[in-house]
């Protein structure tokens, strides 16, 4: 056996995953080759370190008791016999004791990130769902709530107090606002990517301005709100129309320009309202 071959199967040998014959060859090689034998010793040493590892923080039984009592306080209604049994069963059968809480949280964040990225990619191809924020009037959602965007379907007029299409923004803009706002234009982007990025920037700006306008709602009189609604509804129609054309001809600079100009007009109107 050559050293390269030995080293490539060293970990498998250490883990006891090799066949008998391969095991024997490895053992014979270690007798003849001091360098590979040293590698094996290092691997064994690493393994012992891992096996001997204990968390440096000792969690005292009192702490567990306190955590347990808090959990019970938070879920009094759920502590029924049947549910307890179910939970115990789930804990014992589905728990993964080797995965720490931080690792779980990290996995969840990675999964969310991947999902958001995927959805963002897919979203551009389809007509994005339209969201609107609640009515500018004081009867709407509490002013201190920072995010009052609420998803509605296109043409949903059932909620009388909502602005119709006037203050619609695309939902994608909300989730990606902070990301896109700070992203610099990278050289080498394809036209499609650049257009998507430009659109996301406008959407992020519109979402941000819309929230600001909403916070100023009490200062706007009814005729102003009405004019704002009409203006924004008209611009939204332009955006929708031009967006359809861009979807059909994504690399047509003129179509792209019309669409972005429509977004720009919406930003201008909202900025004007913010400045009042």
Binder among 149, 213, 260, 262 for other proteins (CB under 8 A):
260
Binder among 256, 262, 266, 269 for other proteins (CB under 8 A):
256
Would you count residue 26 as binding other proteins (CB under 8 A)? Answer: no
Q: Mark residues 174-213: x for contact with other proteins by CB under 8 A, - for none.
A: -------x---x---x-x--xx-xx--xx--x--------
Contact range with other proteins by CB under 8 A, out of 16-24, 123-131, 135-143, 266-274:
266-274
Looking at residue 161, the DSSP 8-state letter turns out to be: T
CB of 260 to other proteins, least distance (A): 5
Q: How many CB atoms lie within 10 A of CB 22?
A: 15
Site for other proteins (CB under 8 A): how many residues?
Answer: 24
Separation between Cα atoms, residue 49 and residue 177, nearest integer Å: 45
Q: Mark residues 79-108: x for contact with other proteins by CB under 8 A, - for none.
A: ------------------------------
CB of 267 to other proteins, least distance (A): 6
Give the 3-state secondary structure of residue 36: helix
Separation between Cα atoms, residue 227 and residue 20, nearest integer Å: 84
Bridge-based pairing of strands 130-133 and 168-170 is: antiparallel
Please identify, using beta-carbon distances, which residue of 129 and 191 lies nearer to other proteins. Answer: 191
CB of 148 to other proteins, least distance (A): 19
Strand partners, 169: 131
Would you count residue 254 as binding other proteins (CB under 8 A)? Answer: yes
Would you count residue 123 as binding other proteins (CB under 8 A)? Answer: no
Separation between Cα atoms, residue 121 and residue 222, nearest integer Å: 39
CB of 121 to other proteins, least distance (A): 19
Task: Look up residue 222 and give its two tokens.
Answer: 């009814």
Separation between Cα atoms, residue 160 and residue 79, nearest integer Å: 42
Would you count residue 245 as binding other proteins (CB under 8 A)? Answer: no
CB of 272 to other proteins, least distance (A): 10
Give the 3-state secondary structure of residue 105: helix
Separation between Cα atoms, residue 252 and residue 236, nearest integer Å: 21
Buried b (16+ CB within 10 A) or exposed e, 74-83: eeeeeeeeee
CB of 273 to other proteins, least distance (A): 11
Would you count residue 271 as binding other proteins (CB under 8 A)? Answer: yes
CA distances from 222 to 10, 28, 135, 161, 181 (A): 78, 91, 12, 13, 32
Q: Which residues in this chain contact other proteins in the complex, by CB under 8 A?
A: 181, 185, 189, 191, 194-195, 197-198, 201-202, 205, 251-254, 256-257, 260-261, 264, 267, 271, 274-275
């Amino acid at each position: 056996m050559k050293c390269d071959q030995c080293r490539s199967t060293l970990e498998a040998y250490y883990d006891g995953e090799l066949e008998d014959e391969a095991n024997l060859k490895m053992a014979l090689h270690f007798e003849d080759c001091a360098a590979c034998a040293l590698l094996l010793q290092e691997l064994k040493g690493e393994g012992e370190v891992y096996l001997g590892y204990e968390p440096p923080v000792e969690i005292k039984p009192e702490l567990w008791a306190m955590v347990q009592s808090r959990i019970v306080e938070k879920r009094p209604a759920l502590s029924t016999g049947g549910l307890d049994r179910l939970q115990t069963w789930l804990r014992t059968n589905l728990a993964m004791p080797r995965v720490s809480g931080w690792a779980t949280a990290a996995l969840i964040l990675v999964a969310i990130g991947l999902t958001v990225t995927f959805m963002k990619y897919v979203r551009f191809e389809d007509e994005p769902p339209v969201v609107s924020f609640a009515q500018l009037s004081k009867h709407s959602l509490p002013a201190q709530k920072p995010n009052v965007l609420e998803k509605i379907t296109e043409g949903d007029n059932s909620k009388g107090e909502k602005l119709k299409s006037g203050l619609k923004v695309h939902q994608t803009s909300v989730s990606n606002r902070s990301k896109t706002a700070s992203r610099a234009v990278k050289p080498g982007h394809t036209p499609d990517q650049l257009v998507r990025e430009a659109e996301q920037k406008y959407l992020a700006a519109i979402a941000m301005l819309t929230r600001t306008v909403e916070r100023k709602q009490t200062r706007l009189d009814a005729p102003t709100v009405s004019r704002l609604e009409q203006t924004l509804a008209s611009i939204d129609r332009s955006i929708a129309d031009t967006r359809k054309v861009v979807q059909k001809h994504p690399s047509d600079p003129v179509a792209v320009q019309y669409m972005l100009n429509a977004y720009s007009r919406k930003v201008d109107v909202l900025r004007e309202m913010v400045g009042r």
